[in-house]
Homo-oligomer: A and B are copies of this chain.
């Protein structure tokens, strides 16, 4: 799969998102890298050379992508949210000292024995985060 800007337009449309210039650039930044980026990093990626997209638009757009299921949020660092272009079920490995975040495929991981949910509640997601640190 090729993450050209043209393909981004299609991707956005298939998620019922009107593909504007800014949205295409933001999607491109996330998907071509296949990495976890914070809002700040998206800003920087989109505004290399000359400033093109405002802070408000970056935040609005990421929130929109999230609602439309195009990206997911990863909350591992108290100071910033990461956005993840991988929306298939998977887990995360977080290197505490470097801040590096990587995926753990959900395929082989099994979680069992979770208690029943409170009445009238539905699961929105299960986040499994393995926090690791460089051996001292």
Contacts and interface: CB of A to CB of B under 8 A. Distances in A.
* Stoichiometry, copies per complex: 2
A112 interface: yes
Interface in A20-45: none
B115 A108 contact: yes
A77 B78 CA distance: 8
Interface residues of A, number: 38
B120 A113 contact: no
Given A73-B78, A78-B73, A110 B109 contact: no
A71 to B, nearest CB: 14
6 contacts: A75-B78, A109-B113, A110-B110, A110-B113, A117-B130, A127-B129
